[in-house]
Every structure is written in C-alpha cells, then in structure tokens.
Amino acid sequence: MRGMNALWVGAVLWGCGSAAGPEPEPHTQPDDTGLSSPAGDISPSVGVTWPPMGALTDADVVLVRGSAADDASVVGVTVDGVASTSDDGFRTWQAWVPSDVLSSRLRVEARDAAGNIGAIEHPIVVVDRMVVWPRGIAYDASRGLALVSESLTSSVIGVDVETGDRRVLADARVGTGVALEWPDALVMDGRGRALLVDRAQDALVAIDLDTLSRTEVSGPGRGAGPPLHEQHLTVDEAGRRAFVSSTDALQVVDLESGNRATLADEVTGDGPELDGVVGLIFDPAEARLLVGNRWGAQVLSVTVPNGDRALVADDTRGEGPGLSLYGGGMAVDPSSGLLLATAPSELLWLDPTTGDRGVLSGAYRGQGPSFANSGGLALDPAGARAFIPSRNSLKGVISVDLTLGDRAYVSPVPTLGEGPDVYPLFSAFVDGVLYVADTSSLNTLDPQLGTLVQVSGPKMGAGPNLQGIRGLAVEKDRAYVIEHDRLMAIRLDSGDRVVLSDTGSPGPSIADPEGLAVNESGYAYVLDGTHDAILRVDLLTGTRTLASGDGVGSGPELMLPDAIAPDLDRGRLFVADSVLGLVEIDVATGDRRALQPQGGHELRINDLEISPDGRTALVIDHDDDLRWLDLGSMSMTPISDNAIGAAGHGPPFVQPRSLAVDRDAQVAYVGDSFFGWTLTVDLATGERAVIAR
C-alpha cells in the first residue's frame, strides 16, 4: 500500500456509531474571564476533537465535535453560540455551525446543571469556497466579480476582484434549475447572464446573476441541430449568438431558440484546417472569430456566417515569439484592437492585422507570480487589467496589469503550519504519530498544529541519500522505504539510513516497486510492477524471493498493481490492481483471489487500509473518493467525495495518493500530491479539513 502502516496500530473503529474522541482533561476557567463558577464549585471541562486546531475549511456549514465532563452533569454545549446535540449527556457532542457565524477562534462553552460555565477557544481557519481547479473565467464589470467555473466541485464561484472575497453563485445547494455536472468554458452574454458549457451534459447553461437561476439554453433538452461542442465558448457583441468549439470544428448557437449549426469544420468553409483549437474569441470590430490552432501554432480568422478561414499569424506571418498557445484564454482589447492570448507561462499580445506579437506579461516582463497551468482569460478594459485563473497552489485568480505586465493574486488561500515543503505521497499513523513522506524525506506531521518536522532526509540523518521513495512502512522504532531498486531502513530516533537489499543482494531484482509491507517476523513484502508479483525480502540478509506471482501461487496473475495493504495477522495481503480490482494473496502459499465489487462499480484504488478485524477496507479510489469496502460482500459505501451535497464537505480531493488512519480520533489522513496538502477526514460524517499545506 502507498504510505502504509505495516502493523496497523492506528486502526479505526470501523462502522461504529459514535465518532467521539478521547475525553479531555477537566479544567477550570481563570477568574478574569467573567465565566468563573462560585467559590467551591467546579466548571465543566470541554474539548474539541474535530476539526484540529488551525485546520482550514471552506465548508458552508462546519462540523465541530468534542467532549465535555463535570463533577455533576453537563446540560449544554455551544460553539460560537450555536447549540450542539448529544445522545450521552454531552459526554460527547457535535454541532453544525454555519461558516458565516464562525470566528477564527471558536468559542466553545459547556454549562452544567448549577449554571457553571467552562469555556475554551479553539482556533481554526475558515475561508470562503476555494477556487481549486478552475476551468473558465469571465468578468462581470457591473458587480466587480471574476466568475470562475470550478470542475471539482461542479460550481461557479464569484471572486470580488477588489477585496478577494469569494462566494458561490451556482452549485448543488446554491441557485435553482439545471444541475451543474462539469462546468467548463464561461462567458458573460451581455445581458447580465453568465453562459457556460457543461461538458458532462453537452449543454449550454445560462445563470441569471440576479436570481441565480439556471436554465438550459441549448443542448439535449433544447434546440435542434448536431450535439453541442464542449470546449471553448464566446458570444457575439449583441449577445444573440454563441460560438463553441471542439478540437477541429466550430458551431454557432442561436441563444433564443437553442438551435445549433456547424460553422466550420473539414467540409464547411475554406482555408487552413482547424487543428487542436485552444482558444476562441469574437472580434466585434471585424465581425469575425479569432481562433487559436494549437498544433499548427497559428491564429486563424473565421468569417461569420460562411466559416471561411484565413491565416492571421504563425511562424511565417508576423514577427515575435512562437505561438505556443495552450492555456485556452483569448480576448480582444477594445481600446487597442489587439488580441491577448495565454501561453503556458506568458500573456501574449498579437496584432491581428500584421501578425506581429510580443510578451505582455511573463518571466521577463512584469513582476509577480507566474500563471503556469492557467486556464481562460477575462478582461476588465476600464481597469486596464486581465484576469487569469491559476491552478497552482490554490491562488485562484491572477490579475495582470496590461500596462506594466505586473501580476498579483486576487484571492489567495493562506498556507498552514510550519516546516519543510512536503508533497505527501506516502503516510502512516503509528503509536499516535503521523508520518508523511515525499520522494526524498520522511517527516512527522502534528495534526493539531500542522507542523512538519524532518525525521530523515537532506537535513537529518546519516547514510545513503533518499532518492525516490516509492513506499513506506513503519514498525516499532524503524521506518522502511522502498526505492527504485533498493529497500532501506531508517532509525526514527536519529534519521540514520541503511540499505537492507539492493542490486547486489541475491534474488529477483526490485525493478518497479509500487508499495511495501513489513511484518514482525523480519520480512518485507514488496509489490513490484515489473514482475507483477510480490517479492519477499529477508530484513537480516537482504535476500529476495518470490512470494506470489511469476509461477508462485495459483489464481489470476497481477496485471497493473497499484497499491498494497497488509492483513498479516490473518496471513494475507491485499493488492489493488487497475485491471483485476482487488486481489487477496495468501502469504504462505502465494495463492491469489480476485475480489469483485457489487453494483457494477469499477474498483480502481489509489490506496487502502485494512481494518483490525479484516472485514473492512478504507479505500481511496480513482474517482478521488474515500469509501468503505466490505471485504465479505464487496459492497461500497461512500464516506467523502467532492460532489457538493454528497458525502462530506470541505476542501476537495484533487490527487489523493496516501492514506493513514487514527482510530482513537476516528479520522483519516489523506495526502494530496497536487497541492502538497494533507487533509483530515472525519470518518463518521465525511467532513474534510486541511491540516498542512
């Protein structure tokens, strides 16, 4: 398993009804709080078990749970004035608190039957809904909002470009009408509406920004003509027609009727081919479309309505940098008539008359953050600035000064915790300690403070450098890591490293390891993708033998193994295989048995943990969802996913890769490699919060 806990000391209480953590130590309040009890009386003690101190959430309603105790009886607990509920006399309690009433330091008060009050403050970071994976952007000048379509949460978020405040304009809970599934390209239609392409529904959807109601403008339920293209989108100056693209064709859509017609493709219109369309904008001065051609590194003009195409710029026409158009953002500056377009790390200007172009903002022009991984482009002509969505480091939207080229984040999300930058690819929770590893270091992470401390790596420990960790196991006073061709041990007290098995050791080579398990008997089990087998490694001698696969054991051969999880108390391993699903392996014989899920759910797993009783697995699947998997019935139950209104709320999973579990706190820790953040997930409710990034 990626980031496994070999002995699984930190097992969860799988499927239990209570999500309560340990009871806090009783404490009394200082006299100067104004909440002290009468002389001789004892105030109730109260503690918060979730979310951790300093955790970040963007949920609309935030779960806060904890425990309380008193020498008599506790009759109520409030969180920032919101009453909690309990079924055990407030020994454990939980409250659902709207984010707009939460403070940065939660005020939690417990009251006993005598009227005594105990109170604590619990700091957390509550932010407006984050822009995590933006797809398209538009600017509503009347409201001063940059509108961003967000594919992970199927939403549209409005970002105030002056204050940075964010608010949800459309999702499963905000607004009415057509549900959004995969919102993508986004424009303003000139009538106070936002138009977006929903790629999952092949539909063009309008959002009334006054009422937040959504209607299908064109798609399966409205309008005639060929199915709607689903990539880039623009509208004409009057807001009566929309133009949409696929990679090699353009459509025109009548916004009144929803009717669709082909404007240009391989048989419609004359001129250069459309080949990898990466941007599309209506040029009102010439009543034409300007189109970016990725594979030809070109900009073409397309006349309306006949679809004829002409070359505007490429390496043979016009002077300036190459047209490595990729970001998909294009706009026409009405004051200059210049075309602006996003390249992978630059904002380009282009004269449509001559084809000449240059860099308006980039590494060598203007100051500020880069906009690598950018999406679309929106203009604020009055403010002489452009807005570009950014997919790196949760910064949301970048503003670009069109005069100087300077760049600035409009609505960034704060960083959390202290310590080295770590992209948590592997994790384990052992003896109350959370370990996280990236490719070159092993670290501990304090879930309450978000503090990362290097245990072994470039700045800690002696021995061979860590050079590409591919799996982690922790057992007693040691950690074990598997790299491309060797197995290493790390002393947890000193960080010192030693090679246990490498190319000079006897036995089948370690070639493409995908995970690691270790038992108390002195053996490691390495999941190897080249051999499609399990290798057994003697931790004393380094000798490797085949434990399962390549002629050892019966049953289906592994095909595309991804992760491994131990259940060694019962003499078995579980391997996640992208083709076979989940494979149970008998350690003694090497026999393999493929386990198939119920309900037609395709079982593709990034990481998994097996429960102490061996009946249940906690899995992160390839849909980036956290689920329970019953190993007897093979039925799946969702715990937490990104869909708004589904299981769990809070910051979404982007590229979840590692999983560790703390049974006492009833939480999972999920390492997400895209943003380098670690999330905590309340296993009873699926609620999510970030504890370090």
> pLDDT digit string (tens) for 50-92?
999 999 998 889 999 999 999 889 999 999 999 999 999 999 9
Which of 484-493, 644-653, 661-670 is the least confident region?
644-653
Distance (Å, rounded) from C-alpha 594 to C-alpha 584? 6
Residue 609 lies in a domain: no
- In the chain, pLDDT over 90 holds for what percent of residues? 66
For residue 476, pLDDT beyond 80: yes
Question: Of 4-18, 313-327, 490-504, which has the strongest mean pLDDT?
Answer: 490-504
Whole-number Cα distances in Å, 18 to 76, 85, 95, 123: 18, 13, 14, 24
Q: Which of 207-211, 387-391, 602-606 has the highest mean pLDDT?
A: 207-211
DSSP secondary structure letter of residue 185: E
CA distance 607 to 625: 11
Is residue 285 very low, low, confident or very high in pLDDT (cuts 50, 70, 90)? confident
Q: Residue 475: CA atoms inside 13 Å, Cβ hemisphere, count? A: 19
Dist. CA 8–CA 475, nearest whole Å: 9
Q: How far apart are CA 575 and CA 570, in angstroms?
A: 15
Q: Is residue 641 one of the residues assigned to a domain?
A: no
**Structural domain contains residue 581:** no
* Residue 29: predicted pLDDT: 38
What is the pairing mode between strands 288-293 and 442-445?
Answer: unpaired
Secondary structure E strands in 442-520: 442-445, 452-456, 471-475, 478-482, 487-491, 497-501, 513-518
5-19, 292-306, 349-363, 526-540: the lowest-pLDDT one: 5-19
**pLDDT score, position 589:** 97
Q: What is the pLDDT of residue 396?
A: 76
Where b means 16+ CB within 10 Å and e means fewer, 601-639 reads bebbbbbbbbbbeeebbbbbbeebbbbbbbbeebebebb
Q: What is the per-residue DSSP string for 278-336?
A: EEEEEETTTTEEEEEETTTTEEEEEETTT--EEEEEBTTBS-SS-----S--EEE-TTT
Give residue-wise pLDDT tens across range 571-615: 999 999 988 989 999 999 999 999 987 655 677 888 999 998 999
**Better-scored residue on pLDDT, 419 or 515:** 515
* pLDDT beyond 80 at 141: yes
Q: Which of 198-212, 581-595, 624-638 has the lowest mean pLDDT?
A: 624-638
pLDDT of residue 183: 93
Q: Provide the pairing of β-strand 581-586 with 572-577.
A: antiparallel
Pairing outcome for strands 442-445 and 605-610: unpaired
pLDDT recorded at residue 151: 84
Q: What's the confidence (pLDDT) of residue 557?
A: 95
Q: List, in sequence order, the alpha helices (H) in 81-157.
A: none
pLDDT category of residue 268 using cuts at 50, 70 and 90: very high
For the record, the structure tokens of 425 come out as 């690819």
Quote the pTM value.
0.84
Q: How far apart are CA 565 and CA 547, in angstroms?
A: 15
Determine, yes or no, domain membership for 4.
no
> Given a cut of 60, is residue 644 above it in pLDDT?
no
Q: In what order do the strands lie in the sheet with 442-445?
A: 426-430, 433-437, 442-445, 452-456
- Band (pLDDT 50/70/90 cuts) for residue 295 is confident
pLDDT, tens digit (0-9, with 9 covering 90-100), for 551-568: 999 999 999 999 999 999
CA distance 241 to 206: 13
Distances (CA, A) of 600 to 31, 359, 625: 62, 51, 16
Cα dihedral 627/631/632/638 (nearest 10): 0
Residue 175's CATH number: 2.120.10.30
**pLDDT grade, residue 374 (50/70/90)?**
low
Per-residue pLDDT, 375: 67
Number of domains in the chain: 1
**16-25 residue pLDDT tens:** 333 333 433 4
pLDDT for 45 beyond 70: yes
Q: Kindly state the average pLDDT of the residues 397-415.
A: 90
What is the C-alpha separation between 370 and 390, in angstroms, rounded? 9
Tell me how far the alpha carbon of residue 351 is from its chain's centroid: 38
Mean pLDDT of all residues belonging to the chain? 88
Q: Which domain holds residue 215?
A: 134-409
Between the CA atoms of 504, 506, 509 and 510, what dihedral angle is there, to the nearest 10 degrees?
Answer: -80
Q: What single-letter amino acid sits at 206?
A: A
pLDDT above 50: residue 449: yes
Would 142 be classed as within a structural domain? yes
Residue bearing the bigger pLDDT, 674 or 628 = 628
Residue 444, Cβ density class (10 Å: 0-12 exposed, 13-18 middle, ≥19 buried): middle
Judge whether 290 lies within some domain.
Answer: yes
Flag whether 381 is in a domain: yes
Q: Is residue 291 part of a domain?
A: yes
* C-alpha to C-alpha distance for 605 and 593, rounded to whole angstroms: 17
Percent of the chain with pLDDT over 70: 92
Amino acid 567: pLDDT: 94
Q: How many beta carbons lie within 10 A of that of residue 37, not counting itself?
A: 18
Phi-psi region of 43 (alpha: psi -120 to 50; beta: other; left: phi over 0): beta
Is residue 627 within a helix (H) or strand (E), and if so which, with residue range?
Answer: strand 626-630
Instruction: Give the DSSP letter string of 381-419.
Output: GGGTEEEEEE-STT-EEEEEETTT--EEESSPPPP-S-S
The DSSP bridge partners found for residue 686 are none
Is 563 strand, coil or helix? strand
Q: Which two tokens stand for residue 280?
A: 């599309």
